[in-house]
Chain A
Amino acid sequence: MAEGVMDIDDSSFEAEVLQSEKPVLVDFWAPWCGPCKAIGPAIEELAGTFGNKIKFTKCNVDDNPLSPGKYGVRAIPTLIFFKEGKDVEQITGMVAKSKLEDAINKIL
Protein backbone atom coordinates (compact mmCIF):
# COMPACT_ATOMS: atom_id res chain seq x y z
CA MET A 1 0.00 0.00 0.00
CA ALA A 2 0.99 3.63 0.18
CA GLU A 3 4.11 4.94 1.83
CA GLY A 4 3.65 6.50 5.20
CA VAL A 5 1.12 3.98 6.53
CA MET A 6 2.93 0.99 8.02
CA ASP A 7 1.39 -2.48 8.07
CA ILE A 8 1.50 -3.95 11.54
CA ASP A 9 0.42 -7.32 12.87
CA ASP A 10 -0.22 -9.01 16.22
CA SER A 11 3.45 -9.85 16.65
CA SER A 12 4.72 -6.31 15.97
CA PHE A 13 1.88 -4.49 17.79
CA GLU A 14 3.73 -4.24 21.11
CA ALA A 15 6.95 -2.87 19.61
CA GLU A 16 5.46 -0.60 16.94
CA VAL A 17 2.44 0.74 18.83
CA LEU A 18 2.75 0.33 22.57
CA GLN A 19 6.49 1.02 22.78
CA SER A 20 6.47 3.84 20.24
CA GLU A 21 7.93 7.16 21.30
CA LYS A 22 5.66 9.06 18.93
CA PRO A 23 1.85 8.85 19.19
CA VAL A 24 0.46 6.13 16.94
CA LEU A 25 -2.69 5.88 14.87
CA VAL A 26 -3.86 2.31 14.20
CA ASP A 27 -6.36 1.86 11.40
CA PHE A 28 -8.17 -1.46 11.95
CA TRP A 29 -9.42 -2.58 8.56
CA ALA A 30 -10.13 -5.59 6.37
CA PRO A 31 -10.19 -6.20 2.64
CA TRP A 32 -13.92 -6.97 2.64
CA CYS A 33 -14.87 -3.65 4.18
CA GLY A 34 -15.95 -1.02 1.64
CA PRO A 35 -15.88 1.97 4.00
CA CYS A 36 -12.39 0.95 5.18
CA LYS A 37 -11.13 1.10 1.63
CA ALA A 38 -13.01 4.34 1.02
CA ILE A 39 -11.31 6.20 3.91
CA GLY A 40 -7.88 4.76 2.99
CA PRO A 41 -6.89 7.69 0.74
CA ALA A 42 -7.77 10.25 3.44
CA ILE A 43 -5.57 8.44 5.95
CA GLU A 44 -2.72 8.27 3.47
CA GLU A 45 -3.03 12.02 2.86
CA LEU A 46 -2.97 12.68 6.61
CA ALA A 47 0.11 10.46 6.90
CA GLY A 48 1.72 12.74 4.34
CA THR A 49 0.88 15.82 6.41
CA PHE A 50 1.39 14.56 9.97
CA GLY A 51 3.75 11.62 9.39
CA ASN A 52 6.64 13.32 11.17
CA LYS A 53 4.62 13.74 14.37
CA ILE A 54 2.43 10.65 14.42
CA LYS A 55 3.18 7.11 13.33
CA PHE A 56 0.42 5.93 10.95
CA THR A 57 -0.21 2.21 10.97
CA LYS A 58 -2.84 -0.22 9.73
CA CYS A 59 -3.81 -3.59 11.10
CA ASN A 60 -5.70 -6.17 9.03
CA VAL A 61 -8.24 -7.64 11.47
CA ASP A 62 -8.67 -10.77 9.34
CA ASP A 63 -5.06 -11.86 9.76
CA ASN A 64 -4.61 -10.42 13.25
CA PRO A 65 -7.50 -11.16 15.60
CA LEU A 66 -5.63 -10.56 18.87
CA SER A 67 -4.98 -6.82 18.73
CA PRO A 68 -8.51 -5.76 17.73
CA GLY A 69 -9.88 -8.22 20.30
CA LYS A 70 -7.78 -6.67 23.05
CA TYR A 71 -9.21 -3.22 22.37
CA GLY A 72 -12.79 -4.40 21.89
CA VAL A 73 -12.92 -3.55 18.20
CA ARG A 74 -16.22 -4.92 16.89
CA ALA A 75 -16.67 -2.63 13.94
CA ILE A 76 -14.46 -1.37 11.18
CA PRO A 77 -13.14 0.98 10.15
CA THR A 78 -12.04 1.76 13.71
CA LEU A 79 -9.16 4.14 14.28
CA ILE A 80 -7.45 4.13 17.65
CA PHE A 81 -4.90 6.70 18.74
CA PHE A 82 -2.22 5.48 21.16
CA LYS A 83 -0.04 7.72 23.27
CA GLU A 84 2.68 6.29 25.51
CA GLY A 85 1.21 2.81 25.17
CA LYS A 86 -2.34 3.82 26.08
CA ASP A 87 -5.39 4.06 23.82
CA VAL A 88 -6.55 7.64 24.17
CA GLU A 89 -9.07 8.17 21.37
CA GLN A 90 -11.23 5.91 19.26
CA ILE A 91 -13.18 6.71 16.11
CA THR A 92 -15.53 4.20 14.50
CA GLY A 93 -17.10 4.34 11.06
CA MET A 94 -16.59 6.62 8.09
CA VAL A 95 -15.78 10.15 9.16
CA ALA A 96 -14.76 13.27 7.29
CA LYS A 97 -11.06 13.99 6.89
CA SER A 98 -11.56 17.22 8.85
CA LYS A 99 -12.78 15.20 11.86
CA LEU A 100 -9.64 13.10 11.73
CA GLU A 101 -7.55 16.27 11.54
CA ASP A 102 -9.32 17.60 14.63
CA ALA A 103 -8.61 14.34 16.48
CA ILE A 104 -4.95 14.46 15.45
CA ASN A 105 -4.57 18.07 16.58
CA LYS A 106 -6.10 17.14 19.93
CA ILE A 107 -3.57 14.35 20.40
CA LEU A 108 -0.57 16.49 19.47
Chain B
Amino acid sequence: MKNVDYDIVIIGGGPAGLTAGLYAARARLNVILVEKLAPGGQVLVTDRVENYPGFPDGISGFELVQKMTEQAKQFDLVIENNEVLSMDLSDQVKTVRLSDKTITAHAIVIATGASPRKLGIPGEDVFFGKGVSSCATCDGPFYRDRVVAAVGGGDTAVQESIFLTKFAKKVYLIHRRDELRATGILRERALANDKIEFLWDSVLTGIQGLTNVEKITVKNVKSGDTKSLAADGCFIWIGIRPNADFLGDLVRRDEFGFVVVNSNMETSVPGVFAAGDVRVTPLRQIVTAVGDAGIAAFSAEHYIESL
Protein backbone atom coordinates (compact mmCIF):
# COMPACT_ATOMS: atom_id res chain seq x y z
CA MET B 1 0.00 0.00 0.00
CA LYS B 2 1.24 3.45 -0.85
CA ASN B 3 2.22 5.96 1.79
CA VAL B 4 -0.45 8.53 2.67
CA ASP B 5 -1.10 11.07 5.42
CA TYR B 6 -4.47 9.56 6.32
CA ASP B 7 -6.55 6.47 5.60
CA ILE B 8 -9.69 8.59 5.31
CA VAL B 9 -10.38 12.28 4.97
CA ILE B 10 -13.96 13.19 5.91
CA ILE B 11 -15.15 16.50 4.54
CA GLY B 12 -17.88 18.16 6.59
CA GLY B 13 -18.77 18.04 10.28
CA GLY B 14 -22.55 17.69 10.42
CA PRO B 15 -24.27 14.51 11.64
CA ALA B 16 -23.06 12.55 8.57
CA GLY B 17 -19.42 13.59 8.92
CA LEU B 18 -19.36 13.10 12.69
CA THR B 19 -20.90 9.64 12.35
CA ALA B 20 -18.48 8.59 9.60
CA GLY B 21 -15.75 9.89 11.90
CA LEU B 22 -17.07 7.88 14.83
CA TYR B 23 -17.16 4.66 12.82
CA ALA B 24 -13.77 5.18 11.20
CA ALA B 25 -12.14 6.12 14.51
CA ARG B 26 -13.62 3.06 16.23
CA ALA B 27 -12.27 0.96 13.36
CA ARG B 28 -8.88 2.40 14.37
CA LEU B 29 -8.33 3.93 10.96
CA ASN B 30 -6.15 7.00 10.66
CA VAL B 31 -8.87 9.53 10.00
CA ILE B 32 -9.27 13.31 9.93
CA LEU B 33 -12.48 15.31 9.70
CA VAL B 34 -12.20 18.70 8.03
CA GLU B 35 -14.90 21.27 8.88
CA LYS B 36 -14.95 24.78 7.45
CA LEU B 37 -17.06 26.49 10.13
CA ALA B 38 -17.82 24.58 13.31
CA PRO B 39 -19.20 21.05 13.80
CA GLY B 40 -22.93 20.92 13.32
CA GLY B 41 -24.08 22.06 9.95
CA GLN B 42 -27.76 22.71 9.39
CA VAL B 43 -28.74 20.95 12.61
CA LEU B 44 -27.33 23.89 14.58
CA VAL B 45 -30.20 26.10 13.51
CA THR B 46 -32.84 23.58 14.61
CA ASP B 47 -34.53 24.61 17.81
CA ARG B 48 -35.90 21.20 18.68
CA VAL B 49 -35.22 17.88 17.04
CA GLU B 50 -38.07 15.53 17.84
CA ASN B 51 -37.66 12.85 15.20
CA TYR B 52 -34.22 11.56 16.16
CA PRO B 53 -34.78 8.40 18.20
CA GLY B 54 -33.52 8.17 21.75
CA PHE B 55 -34.60 11.62 22.87
CA PRO B 56 -38.29 11.31 23.85
CA ASP B 57 -38.45 14.93 25.02
CA GLY B 58 -36.69 16.19 21.90
CA ILE B 59 -33.26 17.79 21.95
CA SER B 60 -31.89 21.08 20.65
CA GLY B 61 -29.85 20.84 17.47
CA PHE B 62 -26.84 22.39 19.18
CA GLU B 63 -26.97 19.92 22.06
CA LEU B 64 -27.31 16.93 19.73
CA VAL B 65 -24.31 18.03 17.70
CA GLN B 66 -22.31 18.59 20.85
CA LYS B 67 -23.06 15.05 21.98
CA MET B 68 -22.15 13.62 18.56
CA THR B 69 -18.87 15.56 18.57
CA GLU B 70 -18.05 14.46 22.10
CA GLN B 71 -18.80 10.83 21.25
CA ALA B 72 -16.55 10.85 18.17
CA LYS B 73 -13.75 12.58 20.07
CA GLN B 74 -13.88 9.86 22.74
CA PHE B 75 -12.52 7.57 20.07
CA ASP B 76 -9.82 10.08 19.14
CA LEU B 77 -11.37 11.48 15.99
CA VAL B 78 -9.29 14.46 14.86
CA ILE B 79 -11.46 17.43 13.83
CA GLU B 80 -9.68 20.20 11.99
CA ASN B 81 -11.09 23.65 11.29
CA ASN B 82 -10.08 24.09 7.67
CA GLU B 83 -11.51 24.40 4.20
CA VAL B 84 -11.10 22.06 1.27
CA LEU B 85 -10.23 24.18 -1.76
CA SER B 86 -9.79 21.43 -4.32
CA MET B 87 -9.00 17.77 -4.74
CA ASP B 88 -7.16 15.52 -7.14
CA LEU B 89 -8.95 12.17 -7.33
CA SER B 90 -7.38 10.85 -10.52
CA ASP B 91 -4.83 8.61 -8.78
CA GLN B 92 -5.32 5.85 -6.28
CA VAL B 93 -3.80 8.21 -3.71
CA LYS B 94 -6.23 11.09 -3.29
CA THR B 95 -4.88 14.59 -2.79
CA VAL B 96 -6.84 17.18 -0.83
CA ARG B 97 -5.77 20.81 -0.96
CA LEU B 98 -6.67 22.70 2.22
CA SER B 99 -6.29 26.44 2.86
CA ASP B 100 -2.76 26.06 4.26
CA LYS B 101 -1.51 22.60 3.24
CA THR B 102 -2.06 19.58 1.05
CA ILE B 103 -2.87 16.16 2.48
CA THR B 104 -3.16 12.70 0.93
CA ALA B 105 -5.50 9.81 1.71
CA HIS B 106 -6.66 6.41 0.50
CA ALA B 107 -10.35 7.30 0.79
CA ILE B 108 -12.55 10.38 0.96
CA VAL B 109 -15.98 10.73 2.53
CA ILE B 110 -17.90 13.74 1.25
CA ALA B 111 -20.35 14.88 3.93
CA THR B 112 -20.62 18.58 3.19
CA GLY B 113 -24.40 18.73 3.45
CA ALA B 114 -26.57 21.39 1.96
CA SER B 115 -27.55 25.02 2.51
CA PRO B 116 -30.82 26.92 2.29
CA ARG B 117 -31.67 27.94 -1.24
CA LYS B 118 -32.35 31.55 -2.09
CA LEU B 119 -35.31 32.96 -4.00
CA GLY B 120 -33.21 35.40 -5.98
CA ILE B 121 -35.68 38.28 -5.57
CA PRO B 122 -34.97 41.98 -5.02
CA GLY B 123 -34.14 42.79 -1.40
CA GLU B 124 -33.22 39.24 -0.39
CA ASP B 125 -29.46 39.84 -0.20
CA VAL B 126 -29.57 43.49 0.84
CA PHE B 127 -31.71 42.73 3.88
CA PHE B 128 -29.99 39.50 4.94
CA GLY B 129 -29.49 39.90 8.68
CA LYS B 130 -31.73 42.97 8.54
CA GLY B 131 -34.98 41.09 8.52
CA VAL B 132 -34.29 38.37 5.97
CA SER B 133 -33.31 35.10 7.60
CA SER B 134 -33.41 31.35 7.32
CA CYS B 135 -32.86 30.67 11.02
CA ALA B 136 -35.95 31.06 13.21
CA THR B 137 -34.07 29.73 16.25
CA CYS B 138 -31.50 32.49 15.89
CA ASP B 139 -33.66 35.38 14.87
CA GLY B 140 -37.24 34.57 15.91
CA PRO B 141 -36.97 36.28 19.31
CA PHE B 142 -36.24 39.62 17.60
CA TYR B 143 -39.82 39.55 16.31
CA ARG B 144 -41.71 39.60 19.58
CA ASP B 145 -45.19 41.07 18.89
CA ARG B 146 -44.22 41.82 15.31
CA VAL B 147 -45.46 40.58 11.95
CA VAL B 148 -43.30 38.25 9.89
CA ALA B 149 -43.58 36.44 6.60
CA ALA B 150 -42.39 32.91 5.92
CA VAL B 151 -41.96 31.30 2.51
CA GLY B 152 -42.28 27.58 1.79
CA GLY B 153 -44.53 24.60 2.42
CA GLY B 154 -42.19 21.77 3.38
CA ASP B 155 -41.24 20.43 6.82
CA THR B 156 -38.74 23.17 7.59
CA ALA B 157 -41.01 26.04 6.54
CA VAL B 158 -43.95 24.71 8.51
CA GLN B 159 -42.06 23.68 11.65
CA GLU B 160 -40.18 26.97 11.79
CA SER B 161 -43.32 29.02 11.14
CA ILE B 162 -44.94 27.36 14.12
CA PHE B 163 -41.84 28.20 16.16
CA LEU B 164 -42.08 31.84 15.04
CA THR B 165 -45.60 32.12 16.49
CA LYS B 166 -44.02 31.85 19.95
CA PHE B 167 -42.80 35.40 19.37
CA ALA B 168 -44.51 37.04 16.42
CA LYS B 169 -48.10 38.19 16.70
CA LYS B 170 -48.71 37.09 13.14
CA VAL B 171 -46.96 34.86 10.61
CA TYR B 172 -47.91 34.99 6.93
CA LEU B 173 -47.03 31.62 5.45
CA ILE B 174 -46.56 32.11 1.73
CA HIS B 175 -46.79 28.93 -0.33
CA ARG B 176 -46.92 28.56 -4.08
CA ARG B 177 -49.39 25.66 -3.94
CA ASP B 178 -52.78 25.30 -2.23
CA GLU B 179 -51.67 22.63 0.24
CA LEU B 180 -48.66 21.98 2.43
CA ARG B 181 -46.08 19.36 1.57
CA ALA B 182 -44.98 19.05 5.20
CA THR B 183 -45.49 15.86 7.18
CA GLY B 184 -48.93 15.19 8.77
CA ILE B 185 -48.33 16.28 12.34
CA LEU B 186 -46.69 19.54 11.31
CA ARG B 187 -49.54 20.26 8.89
CA GLU B 188 -52.10 19.69 11.63
CA ARG B 189 -50.29 21.97 14.05
CA ALA B 190 -49.87 24.75 11.53
CA LEU B 191 -53.47 24.68 10.31
CA ALA B 192 -54.69 24.79 13.93
CA ASN B 193 -52.47 27.75 14.79
CA ASP B 194 -54.50 30.95 14.61
CA LYS B 195 -51.40 33.16 14.46
CA ILE B 196 -50.54 31.71 11.05
CA GLU B 197 -52.29 33.24 8.04
CA PHE B 198 -51.84 31.15 4.91
CA LEU B 199 -51.29 32.86 1.59
CA TRP B 200 -51.94 29.97 -0.76
CA ASP B 201 -50.95 29.86 -4.43
CA SER B 202 -48.63 32.76 -3.75
CA VAL B 203 -45.01 33.69 -4.25
CA LEU B 204 -42.85 36.35 -2.68
CA THR B 205 -41.62 38.73 -5.36
CA GLY B 206 -39.91 41.51 -3.42
CA ILE B 207 -38.70 42.71 -0.03
CA GLN B 208 -38.62 46.45 0.73
CA GLY B 209 -37.53 48.74 3.51
CA LEU B 210 -35.23 51.58 4.47
CA THR B 211 -32.58 49.97 6.66
CA ASN B 212 -34.60 46.95 7.79
CA VAL B 213 -37.39 44.94 6.20
CA GLU B 214 -40.68 46.88 6.30
CA LYS B 215 -42.78 45.54 3.45
CA ILE B 216 -43.06 42.53 1.19
CA THR B 217 -44.68 42.04 -2.17
CA VAL B 218 -46.69 38.88 -2.74
CA LYS B 219 -48.12 37.67 -6.01
CA ASN B 220 -50.99 35.24 -6.38
CA VAL B 221 -49.92 32.84 -9.12
CA LYS B 222 -53.51 31.92 -10.06
CA SER B 223 -55.07 35.38 -10.27
CA GLY B 224 -51.88 37.26 -11.06
CA ASP B 225 -52.78 39.85 -8.40
CA THR B 226 -49.94 41.49 -6.52
CA LYS B 227 -50.23 42.98 -3.06
CA SER B 228 -47.95 44.69 -0.60
CA LEU B 229 -47.98 43.63 3.05
CA ALA B 230 -46.35 45.20 6.08
CA ALA B 231 -43.85 42.77 7.63
CA ASP B 232 -40.86 43.24 9.93
CA GLY B 233 -39.13 40.07 8.91
CA CYS B 234 -39.04 37.50 6.17
CA PHE B 235 -37.95 33.90 6.61
CA ILE B 236 -37.15 31.86 3.52
CA TRP B 237 -37.37 28.07 3.53
CA ILE B 238 -37.76 26.95 -0.06
CA GLY B 239 -35.49 23.96 -0.01
CA ILE B 240 -31.78 23.41 -0.18
CA ARG B 241 -28.83 23.22 -2.53
CA PRO B 242 -25.86 20.90 -2.04
CA ASN B 243 -22.59 22.29 -0.69
CA ALA B 244 -20.73 20.72 -3.57
CA ASP B 245 -19.40 23.55 -5.73
CA PHE B 246 -15.85 22.60 -4.73
CA LEU B 247 -16.38 19.19 -6.35
CA GLY B 248 -16.78 20.53 -9.87
CA ASP B 249 -17.04 17.46 -12.09
CA LEU B 250 -14.70 15.28 -10.02
CA VAL B 251 -17.58 12.94 -9.18
CA ARG B 252 -20.88 12.35 -10.92
CA ARG B 253 -23.65 14.67 -9.76
CA ASP B 254 -27.32 15.02 -10.70
CA GLU B 255 -28.94 17.98 -12.43
CA PHE B 256 -29.31 19.80 -9.09
CA GLY B 257 -25.69 19.18 -8.11
CA PHE B 258 -26.26 16.40 -5.57
CA VAL B 259 -23.66 13.62 -5.56
CA VAL B 260 -24.78 10.33 -7.09
CA VAL B 261 -23.94 7.20 -5.04
CA ASN B 262 -24.93 3.54 -5.01
CA SER B 263 -26.29 1.68 -1.98
CA ASN B 264 -22.73 1.35 -0.63
CA MET B 265 -22.41 5.15 -0.74
CA GLU B 266 -19.77 4.80 -3.48
CA THR B 267 -19.52 7.73 -5.87
CA SER B 268 -18.42 7.43 -9.49
CA VAL B 269 -14.78 7.49 -8.30
CA PRO B 270 -13.37 4.41 -6.49
CA GLY B 271 -12.38 5.30 -2.94
CA VAL B 272 -14.64 8.34 -2.82
CA PHE B 273 -17.85 8.06 -0.83
CA ALA B 274 -20.67 10.46 -0.01
CA ALA B 275 -23.18 10.57 2.86
CA GLY B 276 -26.02 12.74 4.09
CA ASP B 277 -27.74 15.73 2.51
CA VAL B 278 -25.09 16.22 -0.19
CA ARG B 279 -26.06 12.97 -1.93
CA VAL B 280 -29.02 12.15 -4.13
CA THR B 281 -31.56 10.74 -1.68
CA PRO B 282 -35.34 10.75 -1.23
CA LEU B 283 -35.16 11.94 2.38
CA ARG B 284 -32.80 14.40 4.07
CA GLN B 285 -32.95 13.97 7.82
CA ILE B 286 -30.50 13.43 10.68
CA VAL B 287 -31.45 9.75 10.80
CA THR B 288 -30.73 9.27 7.10
CA ALA B 289 -27.46 11.20 7.34
CA VAL B 290 -26.12 9.06 10.16
CA GLY B 291 -27.30 5.88 8.43
CA ASP B 292 -25.55 6.85 5.21
CA ALA B 293 -22.42 7.70 7.15
CA GLY B 294 -22.21 4.32 8.85
CA ILE B 295 -22.37 2.65 5.44
CA ALA B 296 -19.88 5.08 3.91
CA ALA B 297 -17.33 4.48 6.68
CA PHE B 298 -17.87 0.72 6.43
CA SER B 299 -17.44 0.78 2.64
CA ALA B 300 -14.34 2.97 2.94
CA GLU B 301 -12.80 0.55 5.41
CA HIS B 302 -13.39 -2.36 3.03
CA TYR B 303 -12.05 -0.37 0.10
CA ILE B 304 -8.82 0.39 2.01
CA GLU B 305 -8.44 -3.27 2.99
CA SER B 306 -8.72 -4.24 -0.67
CA LEU B 307 -5.84 -2.00 -1.74
A35 vs B36: C-alpha distance in the bound complex, in angstroms?
Answer: 13
Q: A72-B130, A94-B38, A96-B37 are in contact. Are A77 and B44 (CB under 8 A)?
A: no
Any A CB within 8 A of the CB of B138: yes
Any B CB within 8 A of the CB of A75: yes
Within 8 A of B (CB), among A70-108: 72-78, 90, 92-98
B139 & A76 in contact (Cβ 8 Å cutoff): yes
Within 8 A of A (CB), among B115-167: 128-131, 133, 135, 137-139, 141-142
Mask: chain A, 7-47; 1 = CB below 8 Å from B; 0 = not: 00000000000000000000000101111111101100000
A38 & B128 in contact (Cβ 8 Å cutoff): no
B38 & A41 in contact (Cβ 8 Å cutoff): yes
Range, interface on chain A: 20 to 34
User: Which residues of chain A come closer than 8 Å to B45, judged between CB atoms?
Assistant: 34-35
A34 & B128 in contact (Cβ 8 Å cutoff): no
B60 to A, closest residue via Cβ: A34
Most chain A CB neighbours (cut-off 10 Å) among B133, B142, B213: B142
User: Which residues of chain A come closer than 8 Å to B40, judged between CB atoms?
Assistant: 34-35, 38
Q: A42-B81, A74-B142, A98-B83 are in contact. Are A34 and B37 (CB under 8 A)?
A: no
A96 vs B211: C-alpha distance in the bound complex, in angstroms?
Answer: 26
A94 vs B135: C-alpha distance in the bound complex, in angstroms?
Answer: 11
User: Which residues of chain A come closer than 8 Å to B131, judged between CB atoms?
Assistant: 74
User: Which residues of chain B come closer than 8 Å to A94, judged between CB atoms?
Assistant: 37-38, 44
Cross-chain contact of B38 among A42, A62, A92 (Cβ < 8 A) = A42
Any A CB within 8 A of the CB of B62: yes
User: Which residues of chain B come closer than 8 Å to A74, judged between CB atoms?
Assistant: 129-131, 133, 139, 142, 212-213, 233
Any A CB within 8 A of the CB of B71: no
Within 8 A of A (CB), among B19-61: 36-40, 43-47, 60-61
User: Which residues of chain A come closer than 8 Å to B81, judged between CB atoms?
Assistant: 42, 97
Closest 10 CB pairs of A and B: A92-B129, A34-B62, A34-B44, A38-B38, A75-B129, A75-B139, A33-B138, A74-B142, A94-B37, A35-B44
Q: What are 21 pairs between A and B in contact, CB < 8 Å? A: A33-B137, A34-B44, A34-B45, A34-B60, A34-B61, A34-B62, A35-B40, A35-B138, A38-B37, A38-B38, A38-B65, A41-B38, A62-B141, A72-B130, A74-B130, A75-B130, A76-B138, A90-B129, A93-B135, A96-B83, A98-B83
A33-B137, A96-B37 known, 7 other contacts, Cβ within 8 Å: A35-B40, A35-B135, A38-B44, A38-B65, A74-B139, A74-B233, A90-B129
